[in-house]
Amino acid sequence: MSRGRKPRAGDSGPALHGTSRRLAAWRALLLWVALGLAVAAGACRPIDPNEDTRIEAEIKAHLVAEQNANLTRLGVLSRGGIVYLTGTVTSLDEKARAEVVSRSVRGVERVVNTVEVRTQ
């Protein structure tokens, strides 16, 4: 407050005024940091449903082409570059191979492998 002026409702004095400015500066800094992290993490990346369709088709084609394992009955779903594998196989090697094949496809960011191993 300056001299000669009457206090108004909401005036908090000079000490609190400086504190609120610092608080506002910290809030702005945190907002920019959060925005930067979101962009760096790909949160603002546009999602193209055609890209997921391409990823699914390419993974299925690779699974069918596998010579050393029967991976044709596995389910493949892609959402935003995250691939979900489902179904059953007869060995841990087949489960691992399905994941390796899926990761090799361009555009796959992560594979969630819920394939079950059932020995016969």
Q: Each residue of 80-113: pLDDT tens digit?
A: 999 999 999 999 999 999 999 999 999 999 999 9
d(CA 82, CA 80) in angstroms, rounded, equals 6
**Which of the four pLDDT bands, split at 50, 70 and 90, describes residue 17?**
low
The listed range with the strongest mean pLDDT (19-33, 62-76, 101-115) is: 101-115
pLDDT value at position 10? 57
Q: What is the pTM of this model?
A: 0.61
Residue 105: half-sphere exposure toward Cβ, Cα within 13 Å = 26
Q: Within the chain, how many helices (H) and strands (E) appear?
A: 3, 5
Averaged over 46-56, what is the pLDDT? 85
Averaged over 36-52, what is the pLDDT? 69
pLDDT value at position 93? 93
In DSSP notation, the chain reads --TT----TT--HHHHHHHHHHHHHHHHHHHHHHHHHHHHTTTTPPP-HHHHHHHHHHHHHHHHH-SSS--TT-EEEEETTEEEEESEESSHHHHHHHHHHHHTSTT--EEEE-PEE---
pLDDT of 49 higher than 70? yes
